Each structure stands twice: as C-alpha cells, then as structure tokens.
Amino acid sequence: MAESFVGNARNHQLAWALNGGIPVEALEVRRGRVSWVLKREHRKLNLFRPYWWDYIAHAEHLWSRALNSSQCLAVNIFGPLADNCVRARRALQLLLPEHNLRAEDGVTVRFEYTPQDGPTWMGERKQPTQIDVYFQVTRSVRCIGHVLVEVKYSENSFGCCRGWVSKPDETKRNPDPSRCLDASAIATAPQANCWLAEEEGRRYWELIAAPGSSIRIEAIRLAGPCPFRHGLYQMMRNRVLADELARHSWPAWADFAVCRHPANDAVVLLDEPVSEHGNAIRALQSISTDRAIYDWKAQELVEVISSTDEKLKDWKAWMVGRYFSHVSGKLP
C-alpha cells in the first residue's frame, strides 16, 4: 500500500507538472525519462510563491526539490499564514477554538524550527528535534501558546527509533535490541534499558515520566514492547518537545498536530499494534492525555486557511489542482 501511494504521488506530481504546472526544462531527466525532481537551480518552483523558499533555506531537506517533498507541502499549506499574522490567528481560531484567541493576539509561523534550548531539554547532542511548522501565540507581548505540526505527504511511517532499526551505514548500533521489547523495564530504568538514553543521553523517558507530561507513563508500562520503536517515534518527540515548551513558558499551552495527505493511509499503519491499535495516531492518543495530538487532513486545512482571506482563491485552486485532484495527461 505504501509503495502504491508513493508511486501515485510521484505520477500525480509529474502529470501536474507536464500539464502546465512546471516547465519541462526545469525537471531532471533520470534514466532517460523526465522525472518528478526539479533541477537544483529551479527548486523554488516547488512552492506557490518562490520567495517562500526563504522560510526553509536554513534547513533545506536533501530532496526538497522533489515534487512530492513533504517539506514543500508544509510550506505550500502554511505559507499564507507565515505571510500574514491575521490569517494565522483566524486559522488557529477555527482549528483550535478551545483556546479562545483574541483579535489582539499575535501569531507567528516558522518552519523547521528548533527552540534554542530544545536540544538541552531533550538531551539531544545531535539530530535535534525540528518542528516542521511552528506557531507561537502571544498576548500583550507574552507567549501564551505553541502549536507544533508534523507534516507528511508520501512517507510510509512517522519514523523509527535507531535503537530498534539501525541504518546499514551507522557505526554505532544497539547491541541488545531485545531490551526494546519490555516497555515497563525501560520506563523504570531508561539509562539501563534504552539505548538512546544510555548511549546518547536522550531524556525522552525522563520527560515522559515528569509531572504534566501529555504521554502517560503508566499506560506505556502496559503497552508490552516500547511503543516508540516504529511508527510513533517522530510524533513522540514532537509531543515531548511541546510539553517542554509549555513547561518553560508556563502558563502557556502547547498543542501538537499531524498534517497528512488524506489519501495516504499507509503512513498511519503500524507494523505491530500498540495498545491494540494499528493506527499510529490512535495508538499515540491511547497512551496520552485528551487532545494530546490532533489529526489534520491537508485538504481540509486548505479549506480552513482559504476561508481566512478572500485573496487566497488563486492559492486554493493551485493547491487543489496540485495535490488533491486527479491530473489527466499521458506521462512520458
């Protein structure tokens, strides 16, 4: 299923490009055929507004020039909100009405954001958690809220922990992955039973066990194997970081949402169920407090954002045509 959606997304994007979305000369030729990857000098054509590239220039992904790039999907969806704080506030009012935002509240949007002290909070000496899309809400110059968004387009999971699945080129590996199969033991003594905590000093388990954590440590103890081995890993890191942002800016609140393509069912399918749930988002919700994670569909977000400003009609039509409607046309 995952391969099917990946292939469909690539074909859809290439058909969209060849039907007038992108000049053919801007696309790379691979194995003798025009591909869905932009030439580097034309990478800004991946965005509705080329100047939006400035939002991600500091953390450009390796394949951000691929037409099925999740990083560019994130910018294309939330770029109108980064451009205009009034739109951003109106969108959050619609998406998170429980926070009762006021007309005078300020909302700023950043992409690929890591809080300055985030790596220290999380114990991340390398590979710090980056927030795909970050909203900060202020009132009278004081931060009152944070929203963290993880964006997926054609990926087939929310990432795996390296303590469980190591890449072939990694020199350091967990010598005893069997420890990952006892969540209760890990929660009790993470330094002895979690390779990331032991080897790299990651503090995820310590923070999950702290008062006010959105992820419930007692629910994890009943989960059997570590629930973050695969499928929940990136979401867990975002939720833990959200809790830390709230803790260090108390009494500010912090929400976390997943934004995913509505046709990509594979991204939420777990290799193994967690707490009897085979859906990754439902699984994380089952071991977390209420409203710890929101499940936002990308096409619905486009509808919400477009409703904040009548000037976004062209953007909405472009987004629907590019990402959510069938594009006819014969591929080369």
Rg (CA), the chain: 20
Please, where are the H alpha helices in 40-167?
70-83, 85-95, 118-122
Residue type at position 193: N
Closest CA to 164 of 155, 149, 176: 176
Asked whether 203 and 121 are in contact (CB, 8 A), the reply is yes
> Domain segments of the chain: what residues?
2-159+230-324
Q: What's the pLDDT at 254?
A: 98
Q: Which residue has the tokens 């419930």?
A: 216
Asked whether 178 and 272 are in contact (CB, 8 A), the reply is no
Question: Among 159-173, 285-299, 304-318, where is mean pLDDT lowest?
Answer: 159-173
Extended beta strands in 171-301, E state: 253-260, 269-274, 277-279, 294-297
Please, where are the H alpha helices in 105-151?
118-122
Q: What pTM, to 2 d.p., does this model score?
A: 0.95
Counted residue by residue, the chain has a size of: 332
Q: Which two tokens stand for residue 179?
A: 């420890």
pLDDT in tens, 243-264: 999 999 999 999 999 999 999 9
Q: What's the pLDDT at 239?
A: 98
Q: Cα(110)–Cα(52) distance, rounded to whole angstroms? A: 11
Residue 47 CB coordination number (10 Å): 19
